[in-house]
Amino acid sequence: MSNLLFIDAAAVDWARAQFALTAIYHWLFVPLTLGLGLIMAIMETKYYRTGDAFWRKISQFWQRLFGVNFAMGVATGIILEFEFGTNWSNYSWFVGDIFGAPLAIEGIVAFFLESTFVAVMYFGWDKVSRGFHITSTWLTWVGATISAWWILVANSWMQYPVGCEFNPDTMRHEMVSFSDVALSPYAIDKFLHTVISAWIVGAVFVVAVCAWYLLKKREAERELALKSLPYGVVVGLVASVLAAVSGDESAYKIADVQPMKLAAMEALYNGGNDVSLTGVAWVNPFEQPDYKNEEEAPLRIAVPNGLSLLATRSLHGYVPGVNDILQGYTREDGTVEPSMAEKMERGRTAIAALADYRAARATGDSLEAAIALEVMKPNMQYFGYGFLKSEDEAVPYIPINFWAFRVMVGIGTLLILYFAVIACLLWRKKNVAAKAWLLWTAIALVPLTYICSECGWLVAEFGRQPWTIQDMLPISASVSDIGSSAVATTFFIFLALFTVLLIVELNIMCKQIKKGQGE
């Protein structure tokens, strides 16, 4: 274990960069798969209920776009999972028994389900009954959603590790409760917020394609656009409101289990009771603020008591800031959180006791092993802190968290307003096709919605820094013992590969959209 303290810092940076690159590209495809899958299933349900052949053509049109995006998501997702073994082997060894379980279930059950029924969905028209075909379409979407569930369970466990115990004999964390891992409240909230946000991406995409047809006055696709538009709007409006609700609940969970992440999101340096919720403030995006010497970010405009209400469900609740977490504080329930210096010291005690235990076991000295074990057990919860060289390492990069959170919330609010306006116009039977500004806005919202979605992941992952597993294993102790040059080389290979894949997908999607509903 001591060898982990001497991992090449450049290798850590390149491994992080490569994983971030892969994850960002992968997430360009996943939300559209989940969102568009739901809408195309709803449209085929309309065909199943009415028997109108036109709805069949509409369903087939959206399914073609779904298929292109689905294939690209699979290609990038496979590479993403392989990186755990190539670049993060220490992490995979340390917690593979836990982290690997949901990923295995995702591959065996969920991916098998969606890959089986997606074939029936595409090639089963006129070969199977309408009932069986629509079931296949819904199961394709359900399979993709279940796949997202297990992947998010794995990610949520990294944010909030539960249901496990450390085995000093195997040097691994091992699962003791599958239900605690699979049904973690953090996982449930993360799943709901992530999948609902994906529905928004699908809805915006459908509305934008419809808007493009109307702007171009494509008479052949006018009916497709006018009939598809309300479905995209309704899904978008409902999902946008639900995303706001689930996001509030996610923030509440973050305040409980990842208080440093919340402090970074709010640029809250010194906490307390009756804490305001920051609307805007000047946080320099290019450098870490001097949080130890600043009371708060300058030019701050805030909602009184808002953060206390969000984090504790009480207007007067206590919310710790960055400095409170570094110095130690008392939670609302009376639990005392040690200072960062104490956590680091106890972490080093746990590391040393583990080394003593293994040395004693190797020589057969059961008494010394028992003594070392007694020292290790009460300090094991701070094991990861023993790898930190300074308390400042425990503070994530505040500017990224602060601004990414505000971009996400700002665009999310804009989406609610847009869908509410267009839904109101449709309900009042106004001629939406004649309002060019509304249609151009729909097209402009496509990149903005993707930015919003990516910003959510930036907050989730940057806010957890420096941890691969929250409080348990830092990034510096998670990477494979490989040279930085090897990881850098594959980084640029993946950058070129994924860029080509993205260009190819955009090209195919644009051609399919221009082609319209023609065979």
Question: Mind listing the pLDDT tens digit for each residue in 281-323?
Answer: 999 999 999 888 888 888 889 999 999 999 999 999 999 999 9
Place of tokens 């040279």: 483
Q: What is the pLDDT of residue 45?
A: 93
Task: Give whole-number Cα distances, 278 to 42, 72, 258, 264, 332, in Å.
Answer: 39, 39, 18, 12, 21
Q: Which residues contact 270 (CB under 8 A, 6 or more apart)?
A: 295, 296, 321, 322, 323, 324
Task: Give whole-number Cα distances, 91 to 3, 199, 311, 481, in Å.
Answer: 14, 32, 31, 11
**391-422 as b/e: b if 16+ CB within 10 A:** bebbbbebbbbbbbbbbbbebbebbbebbeeb
The neighbouring-strand residues paired with 272 are 319
Q: What is the mean pLDDT of residues 474-487?
A: 84
Which band of pLDDT confidence, cut at 50, 70 and 90, is reported for residue 2? Answer: very low
Q: What is the pLDDT of residues 235-260, one digit of tens each?
A: 999 999 999 999 999 999 999 899 99
More confidently predicted of 197 and 487: 197
Asked if residue 334 lies in contact with residue 318, where contact means CB atoms within 8 angstroms, the answer is no
Rounded Cα gap, residues 456 and 23, in angstroms = 13
pTM for the model: 0.91
Q: What is the pLDDT of residue 62?
A: 92
Domain ranges of the chain: 2-258+397-462+464-512, 266-337, 340-387
For residue 58, pLDDT over 70 is answered with: yes
Q: What is the pLDDT of residue 5?
A: 46
| Element holding 194 (H helix, E strand) | helix 185-215
Asked if residue 502 lies in contact with residue 509, where contact means CB atoms within 8 angstroms, the answer is no
Rounded Cα gap, residues 94 and 90, in angstroms = 6
Q: What is the pLDDT of residue 518?
A: 61
Q: What is the mean pLDDT of residues 362-372?
A: 90
* Among 416, 440, 48, residue whose Cα is nearest residue 203: 416
| Element holding 101 (H helix, E strand) | helix 89-105
Q: What is the pLDDT of residue 4?
A: 45
Rounded Cα gap, residues 479 and 471, in angstroms = 16
Q: What is the pLDDT of residue 149?
A: 92
For residue 345, pLDDT over 90 is answered with: yes
For residue 362, pLDDT over 80 is answered with: yes
Q: What is the pLDDT of residue 92?
A: 85
- Residue 184's Cβ-side half-sphere holds a number of Cα atoms within 13 Å equal to 27
For 157-215, where are the E strands, in sequence order?
Answer: 164-167, 172-175
The neighbouring-strand residues paired with 164 are 175
Which band of pLDDT confidence, cut at 50, 70 and 90, is reported for residue 7? Answer: low
Q: What is the chain's alpha carbon radius of gyration, rounded to the nearest angstrom?
A: 25
